[in-house]
Structure 1
Amino acid sequence: MGRHALNGLRAQRGLAMVEFAITVPLLLLLLFAIGEFGRMLFQYNSLLQANRDASRYVAGKAWNPTLGAVELSDQLKGEAKNLAVYGLPVVPSGTQPLVSGLTTADVQVTAVGTTHVQVSTTYTFVPILGSSLPAFVGNAIALNFPLVATTVMRAL
């Protein structure tokens, strides 16, 4: 009986290494996916907070009491776009955007009716590992997708 147990142990000697080689790539893929999801949530949270700040800034300055309505000047729109992208209404040279790749062209500032303002920011999230997964059949699977933050506030 002792001989049979010894032969069974010898037969399973490399099995742990084979199981490890099979599971490590899957576990690493899961780890990277969780990291990318966290990075995407962080970028979306940054966009949303900057968008709220810009909307609050516009809502405080856009009201024209003489007209009794919202009035958006080009200067105010520019300051709001800078606030949504850089975190500052007036941007010193060399300032980096809050989210890499975000520009003022990605921000829209509009009036909604006569009493509300809307700031909308659109950003395309691109994972660090690449913008697509190769497919064996058909087209590649795109990994980049838009993050949209929109805030509407009543002018004060």
Structure 2
Amino acid sequence: MGRRGFRSPRNQSGLAMVELVLTLPLLLLLMLTFAEFGRMLFQYNSLMQASRDAGRYVADKAWNSTLGKLDLSGTLQTQAKNVAVYGVPANPNGYPAVVSGLTPANVAVSAVGAEHVQVSITYTYVPVIGSALPVLYGSNVPLGLALTSTVVMRAL
């Protein structure tokens, strides 16, 4: 009985390359989707932390113990917006925003009832690939996603 050597089938040469060409775009799209979702969660977490920091700052400074009520002055609101956006009450050194594209106009500071303050941040998340998907006919498909972070705290 003779031994035969291993012979690769000739009719399947290059099949792995064809499979790679067919599956690689789908795998890359899936990886991009997971990366974008992770980036969005990271930015939302940063917005939540910024609104909590600003809420704590306002809750600490807003209570006027002499009058026994909330006192949300324009200066305090501006400082709270700076805490939410830059992380500091005043930004003379030009610190960058905690989330790129976030401005003090995206932050709202208000009183809720007689003892609570509210800080709300509204931000539009834009994916890395752009703000809209072009289509062959009609208008572009917008990709921006509105992220809102709101915190209510009792004034101290």
TM-score normalised by L of structure 2: 0.89
Deviation at 1:138, TM superposition (A): 4.8
AA aligned to 2:40 is: M
Q: Please state how far the C-alpha of 1:77 moved relative to its aligned partner.
A: 0.3
SS at match of 2:9: helix
CA distance, structure 2, for counterparts of residue 103 and residue 35 of structure 1: 25
CA–CA distance in structure 2, aligned partners of residues 120 and 62 of structure 1: 16
Which residue pairs with 2:82 in the alignment? 82
CA distance in 1 between partners of 2:80 and 2:61 (Å) = 10
Does residue 66 of the first structure (1) align with residue 66 of the second (2)? yes
Counterpart residue number, 1:18: 18
Report the counterpart of residue 35 of structure 1 in structure 2: 35
Deviates more, 1:129-138 or 1:49-58: 129-138
**Matched residue pairs, number?**
150
CA distance in 1, matches of 2:73, 2:92: 21
The structure that is helix-richer by fraction is: 1
The answer to whether structure 1 residue 108 and structure 2 residue 105 are counterparts is no
- Alpha-carbon offset, residue 67 of structure 1: 2.6
Q: SS at the partner of 1:51?
A: helix
Structure 1's unaligned 5+ residue stretches are 1-5
User: Which residue of structure 2 lines up, in the alignment, with residue 47 of structure 1?
Assistant: 47
**Offset from partner CA, 1:6-33 (integer Å, 9 cap, x none):** 7x92222122111100100111111111
The 2-side partners of 1:103 and 1:134 are apart by 28
Aligned-partner Cα distance in 2 for 1:99–1:17? 42
Cα deviation 1:88-112 (Å, max 9, x = unaligned): 0111232110111100000000000
Equivalent-residue separation in structure 2 for 1:96 and 1:153 (angstroms): 26
The answer to which of 98-107 and 125-134 deviates more is 125-134
Using the alignment, how far apart are the partners of 1:22 and 1:134 within structure 2? 24
Identity of aligned pairs, percent? 60
1:122 corresponding residue in structure 2: 122
SS in 1 for 2:119: strand
Encode CA deviations 1:13-70: one digit per residue, 9 max, x unaligned.
Answer: 1221111001001111111111111111111111110110100010011011233221
Q: Which runs of 5+ in 2 are unaligned?
A: 1-6
Q: What is the CA RMSD across the aligned residues, in angstroms?
A: 1.6
Structure 1 segments of 4 or more deviating over 6 A? none
Residue 19 to residue 136, structure 1, CA distance change in 2 (3 Å): farther
